[in-house]
């Protein structure tokens, strides 16, 4: 699936490749996600979800449509405003089915998923919408 960020670049889906683990330990968490919402919002509205007491280090580049949410140990959740590529009928159909008006590219290291889930939950609680893996079948879905 291809999405175009505000910066005019195209980003293609990437697969995370980790070290081999025992079957019982394998956690299939993508590093690339989509945040989709039925509201028309920007990174400023997501930025305003967090207060100083939350303990996150926030950096916003509003003109570029980019927000970085710093977590512990230098890890971060990076959010970038995106547009669904005109030829990406699968994503366009999925977005229409869920009445999506705004799409963001979201990236974080899969090993920080538990902490990133807290960030995602906070965003959804305040601005609505849902997160889904930037995968062929949009899984996992976090709503």
d(CA 43, CA 45): 5
Domains of the chain: 30-142 (3.30.310)
Q: What is the pLDDT of residues 58-109, one digit of tens each?
A: 999 999 999 999 998 899 999 999 999 989 999 999 999 999 999 999 999 9
Check pLDDT > 60 for residue 139. yes
Give the confidence band of 3 by pLDDT, cuts at 50, 70, 90.
low
SS3 130: strand
Token pair 């990437």 in the structure block, residue: 14
**Percent of the chain topping pLDDT 90:** 69
SS3 14: coil
Record the pTM. 0.79
């Amino acid at each position: 699936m291809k999405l175009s960020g505000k910066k005019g670049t195209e980003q293609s889906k990437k697969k995370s490749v980790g070290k081999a683990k025992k079957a019982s330990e394998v956690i299939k968490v993508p590093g690339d996600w989509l945040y989709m919402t039925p509201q028309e919002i920007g990174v400023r509205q997501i930025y305003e979800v967090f207060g100083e007491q939350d303990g996150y280090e926030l950096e916003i580049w509003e003109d570029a449509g980019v927000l970085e949410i710093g977590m512990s140990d230098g890890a971060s959740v990076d959010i970038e405003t995106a547009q669904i590529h005109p030829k990406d009928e699968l994503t366009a159909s999925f977005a229409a089915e869920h009445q999506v008006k705004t799409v963001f590219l979201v990236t974080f290291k899969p090993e920080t998923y538990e902490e990133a889930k807290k960030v995602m939950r906070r965003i959804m609680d305040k601005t609505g919408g849902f997160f889904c893996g930037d995968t062929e079948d949009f899984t996992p879905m976090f709503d």
